[in-house]
Structure 1
């Protein structure tokens, strides 16, 4: 049965949807910086193109067995995926017809938006960085705080969030496409029913489940091509699993390297942003204002208010989860900056400097694995070279341009670097105050 299921999925992903991929240079001209926006202006609408197409499973490094467990073959019917792709770029799902899912998840930017914080309807700036949709099918939970489990649930919340797409309700968004004859025909073909809310969300999720992204130089290296990555990147891979301690969060276990998704499906407080906020009063306020399990309330607080810094605590109400956020996968990380849940860091050198000093001295909820690393400058360069090697073939040109940009910036601006702390002992953390 497992082998039959695998064959179905491979046929769906590889043959039914596969488009013969042009060379990377033909697909990817480099995304560049996102355009500046006037006050109240929504970002320009991205257009679908080759990079928006469902990905083939014929990729070096594609995790066939894992994919069998996370995808039901029936969800990947071609008509459903095609409908979902169209809906993903549909601005009529927003309150004023100016933004779509692709506004924050632009295929040209590896399904991110290139901005520190996501910008939605009426130019409203949220509290969190837009994560990539690539490989989201493998996430056990969705959003930075894991407030929903499925891609169907994830597709729904931005449509009604007042800082994202701003529709009054899912039904309100649906009403603006329900009379469209093309949509009527596509819903009937995909689901055998008229236009409806459940099928709309199912179609968007089906499209997102085809966005598996592998086939990076690192994948070719793991597959046996010793020349696929540089000597620097190979040293970075060794550091990743040892001295740099990255594997403690970016692997399924602490003891075994993970060359697939680079995540642990868990949540951690790594010292980002917490000192800018009065976290304890915010946690107390959250307890009062958010009914437990009220997902819509959590979604609004996470995107529109200072409570966003509470992270996973908004979902679990556990003190240990204060300011904890989901471990993101690292594939295409070079082209999905700025970094962290608040987009507060511009380069991978900044990211490595942050971890190198074990940031968070006065943060009582700092993850236990955060500590000074004593990485030298050449070792930090090796780490960045490894992270750059995780860039999929479709984004090679963008990756090369972004690496050059970040490298140049790192030569003149390293705001996170603290060499003394990086080579010092781990400081004693304060005890968490009572809520």
Structure 2
């Protein structure tokens, strides 16, 4: 680090001795493929470091700096960074929704509806993989090439025929030119897509959510209601068994941070579909199968972080479940039975469904308690932090 802000950022996250901080890398067994088995603990994660989490992995090829973070924030909200100048990264990642967009399916700059739901960016620096089901995208710099340059589906819509035009939009804005020069002072021509990606990735790595009511509860700064306590005990226990896939400090099962080895990357079939009675999922949302072509990977997706989950609906990879209550109904049933339409089928009987997904005996009060506990994972400071907001 070569300046004060980025030093403070890393210092705040760098309680690198993960003592006093139980991390539960859990729930890969029976995942329907997509990663080796991982261990898990039944315990609640203990109090994190004073200012947050363990040290994040920052690539040596793109060290953090104040200047890159500032430029990345500007570019993240800038609609000029799309082929037709109508969409920014923030168009699909709204701060008040924990950097999701509230839509079942994302919509690209050309109006194309995407097959999948926009994922949140809270604590993205701690994710071992970065999309719903692509095990190869493990670095923000590589992942960002997909929305910027991809054509199936079109997101930002940057292509060979308009690349020069997109860059020229920034070259005529002296304020932004100065941001580029400050962020990349050694480059004679700093306005490039390589530098744009590096800057946005730097900004995204600062999107840390660690001040929820749950975090404050662990630090003994607040108390939980009786319902929230019951919900937490259900979540962390063998009745609801949520912890199997959401038991790390980031409430997922693919955490990555300095000192963790090996890093596990499980993917799970939760019985959401069974359209042909043989385990089929609707094209093109067939999960890890799209990359491995292994039958056992059909319908296997990454378990997302549940931090801020109360504001990130609708849920699942295709936004097909509207509310947290419905998500709990789905898991309690051991899968989803669709009785009519093109997606009809009994997901409860999907042959590739994870053996972690079984019928759970949850009362209506249990479900209320779980929803109330999940509400404690909302970090209002994160949702309103001016450091993450659109630059004025």
Is the TM value for this pair above 0.5?
Answer: yes
Which of 116, 133, 155 aligns to 2:144? It is 155
**Residues 110 and 157 of structure 2 are in contact (CA less than 8 Å); yes or no, is this contact kept in structure 1?**
no
* C-alpha distance in structure 1 between counterparts of 2:277 and 2:81, whole Å: 34
Shift of 1:323: 1.0
* C-alpha distance in structure 1 between counterparts of 2:267 and 2:105, whole Å: 20
* C-alpha distance in structure 2 between counterparts of 1:278 and 1:348, whole Å: 28
Shift of 1:107: 1.2
The C-alpha deviation readout for 1:1-51, integer Å capped at 9, x for no partner, is: xxx99x986513689xxxxxxxxxxxxxxxxxxxxxxxxxxxxxxxxxxxx
The alignment's C-alpha RMSD in Å is 2.9
Q: Give the stretch that moved more between structures: 242-251 or 316-325.
A: 316-325
TM (normalized to structure 2)? 0.74
**Residues 1:180 and 2:173 aligned together:** yes
Q: Give the stretch that moved more between structures: 187-196 or 134-143.
A: 187-196
The C-alpha deviation readout for 1:304-340, integer Å capped at 9, x for no partner, is: xx63311112223332221111110110000011011
The C-alpha deviation readout for 1:268-313, integer Å capped at 9, x for no partner, is: 0112244389976x8xxxxxxxxxxxxxxxxxxxxxxx63311112
* C-alpha distance in structure 1 between counterparts of 2:114 and 2:62, whole Å: 35
Which of 90, 97, 106 aligns to 1:109? It is 97
Corresponding residue number in structure 2 for 1:133:
121
The C-alpha deviation readout for 1:191-227, integer Å capped at 9, x for no partner, is: 12121121110000000000001111111111124x4
**Residues 1:12 and 2:9 aligned together:** yes
* C-alpha distance in structure 2 between counterparts of 1:61 and 1:313, whole Å: 41
Shift of 1:189: 1.1
**Residues 279 and 352 of structure 2 are in contact (CA less than 8 Å); yes or no, is this contact kept in structure 1?**
no
Q: In structure 1, list runs of 5 or more residues that go unmatched.
A: 16-58, 252-257, 283-305, 398-435
Q: Could you say what secondary structure the match of 1:66 adopts?
A: coil
**Residues 337 and 347 of structure 1 are in contact (CA less than 8 Å); yes or no, is this contact kept in structure 2?**
yes
**Residues 273 and 342 of structure 1 are in contact (CA less than 8 Å); yes or no, is this contact kept in structure 2?**
no
Shift of 1:108: 2.3
Which of 75, 95, 106 aligns to 1:87? It is 75
Corresponding residue number in structure 2 for 1:118:
106
**Residues 274 and 349 of structure 2 are in contact (CA less than 8 Å); yes or no, is this contact kept in structure 1?**
no
| Mapping 1:185-196, distance limit 5 Å | 185-192=178-185, 193=187, 194=189, 195-196=191-192
**Residues 1:197 and 2:188 aligned together:** no
User: In structure 2, do the counterparts of structure 1 residues 61 and 249 end up closer, same or farther at CA, with 3 Å as the change threshold?
Assistant: farther
* C-alpha distance in structure 2 between counterparts of 1:361 and 1:10, whole Å: 49
Q: Could you say what secondary structure the match of 1:308 adopts?
A: coil
TM (normalized to structure 1)? 0.67
**Residues 61 and 220 of structure 1 are in contact (CA less than 8 Å); yes or no, is this contact kept in structure 2?**
no
Shift of 1:377: 0.8
Which is bigger in relative contact order (C-alpha 8 A, separation at least 6)? 2
Q: In structure 2, list runs of 5 or more residues that go unmatched.
A: 13-47, 255-265, 336-346, 385-392
**Residues 1:392 and 2:379 aligned together:** yes
Shift of 1:179: 4.3
Q: Which structure features the higher share of helix residues?
A: 1
| Mapping 1:42-57, distance limit 5 Å | none
Shift of 1:368: 1.3
Aligned residues: 317
Corresponding residue number in structure 2 for 1:219:
215
User: In structure 2, do the counterparts of structure 1 residues 71 and 377 end up closer, same or farther at CA, with 3 Å as the change threshold?
Assistant: farther
Which of 56, 65, 73 aligns to 2:54? It is 65
| Mapping 1:24-423, distance limit 5 Å | 62-67=51-56, 69-70=57-58, 75-146=63-134, 147-162=136-151, 163-169=154-160, 171-172=163-164, 173-192=166-185, 193=187, 194=189, 195-225=191-221, 227-242=222-237, 243-251=239-247, 258=248, 260-265=249-254, 266-275=266-275, 307-359=283-335, 360-394=347-381
User: In structure 2, do the counterparts of structure 1 residues 278 and 307 end up closer, same or farther at CA, with 3 Å as the change threshold?
Assistant: farther
Q: Which runs of 4+ in 1 moved over 6 A?
A: 276-279
Shift of 1:61: 6.7
